Structure 1
Amino acid sequence: MDINECIVFMNIAEKLKCNTRHSWTSSGRHESVAEHSWRMGLMAMAVADEFSELDMNKVIKMCLIHDLGEAITGDIPTFYKTATDEVVELDAIDQLLSTVSGSFKDTLKALFEEMDELKTPEARLYKCIDKCEVVLQHNEAALDTWIELEYELNQTHGQKECEEFAYMKRLREKLKLDTLAKLNELSAQ
């Protein structure tokens, strides 16, 4: 990759450190998009032994890049995202891809297409990890950072996506139990 091209791409990607998400950290600050993507990649590494039949390097790459478009658009929580927002995000990815060339561009384009289509088990696992990481982060944050709809959403978010994978289905169920325990704290007050 051309050095200048690399620097331009990394300058754009750096915005993921600056763009915050709807989620809060356990220390009481907004989480950045970069932190979410990093922890998804770490989660994929942590569960890799459970998926020896899959290309987990590809899953990790998907986790790391899945929100790159948000370097341009910023984050829009899933429950607020519209069809128009989806188009804007796709345009942002195209804009980002226009800054790189060669095999790196080809790799990114192929990964984004695979993630969008969700036809491969790797793409579906990445999506499941994405949903689980969001629930995990909410469970770690204080309840006063949740909005009302998240009391129910945190119990159901990602269940459908995790059905295909026995391990992830069990992980998602544990996250639901953790959510219920957290909500019990609220009702005990």
Structure 2
Amino acid sequence: MEPRKLLETILVAERLKDTTRHCYTAKGRHESVAEHSWMMTLMAFFIRDEFPTVDMDKVIRMCIIHDLGECFTGDIPTFDKNQNHEKIEKILLNNWVSSLPEKYSMEMKELYKEMEERETIEAKIYKSIDSLEALIQHNISDLSTWIPKEFDLNMTYADDKVAFSDYLKLLREVIREDTIKKIKIGK
């Protein structure tokens, strides 16, 4: 990518460093969307041996770009997001992606389509990681930062997303165990 275009592109993506999510960090500040994407990417890196036949580099690319639409809309928690929010985000993201050099624009559009359809193993793994990372972050944060609906949500969320993989089902169960302990202890 031509250097000036690269800097312009990074300038847009940099917004995610200051775009906060509903989740909190262990030290009590709001997590940024960039931090969420980074943690997802790290998770994909560390679980790649569990999926030896999967293109985990593609999963990592999906993790890196999955929330770029939030550069334009901000983060809306999954329990508040509706179809209108998703439509607006998709339009704004597509406009931006279309402005990128063709090679990157085409690759990103193909990845977003695959992620949305969730038919490939790579897209299923990416979506599982996206959901599981949010649960992990909630377990890391102080219980006082949880809103009432999150107590049930942390017990059930992502079960459907991990159903295709024994490893991810096991990871989900370990996360649930941590949630149960956290709620019992009250921290």
TM category, shorter: over 0.9
Q: Supply the distance in 2 between the matched residues of 1:157 and 1:92 (Cα, whole angstroms).
A: 28
1:82 is matched with 82
Matches within 5 A, 1:53-68: 53-68=53-68
Give CA deviations for 1:54-103 in whole Å, capped at 9, x if unaligned: 10000001011100000111000000001100101101211221331121
Q: Supply the distance in 2 between the matched residues of 1:115 and 1:162 (Cα, whole angstroms).
A: 15
Matches within 5 A, 1:31-180: 31-180=31-180
The TM-score with structure 2 as length reference comes to 0.98
Worse-superposed segment, 127-136 or 94-103: 94-103
Q: Does 1:11 align with 2:2?
A: no
CA contact 1:40–1:133 (8 Å) conserved in 2: yes
Q: Supply the distance in 2 between the matched residues of 1:80 and 1:71 (Cα, whole angstroms).
A: 18
Deviating 4+ runs (over 3 angstroms): none
Unaligned runs of 5+ in 1: none
User: What is the letter of the counterpart of residue 100 of structure 2?
Assistant: V
1:26 is matched with 26
Q: Supply the distance in 2 between the matched residues of 1:94 and 1:103 (Cα, whole angstroms).
A: 15
CA contact 1:9–1:96 (8 Å) conserved in 2: no
User: What is the letter of the counterpart of residue 65 of structure 2?
Assistant: I
Query: 1:113, CA displacement in angstroms?
Result: 0.7
* Count of aligned pairs: 187
Unaligned runs of 5+ in 2: none
Query: 1:172, CA displacement in angstroms?
Result: 0.3
User: What is the letter of the counterpart of residue 15 of structure 1?
Assistant: R
CA contact 1:26–1:142 (8 Å) conserved in 2: yes
Give CA deviations for 1:15-53 in whole Å, capped at 9, x if unaligned: 000100000000100000000000000000000000011
Q: Pairwise CA RMSD of aligned residues? A: 1.0
CA contact 1:54–1:121 (8 Å) conserved in 2: yes
CA contact 1:115–1:123 (8 Å) conserved in 2: yes
The TM-score with structure 1 as length reference comes to 0.97
User: What is the letter of the counterpart of residue 159 of structure 2?
Assistant: Q
Q: Supply the distance in 1 between the matched residues of 2:102 and 2:86 (Cα, whole angstroms).
A: 26
Q: Supply the distance in 2 between the matched residues of 1:22 and 1:96 (Cα, whole angstroms).
A: 25
CA contact 1:9–1:99 (8 Å) conserved in 2: no
Q: Supply the distance in 2 between the matched residues of 1:30 and 1:21 (Cα, whole angstroms).
A: 6
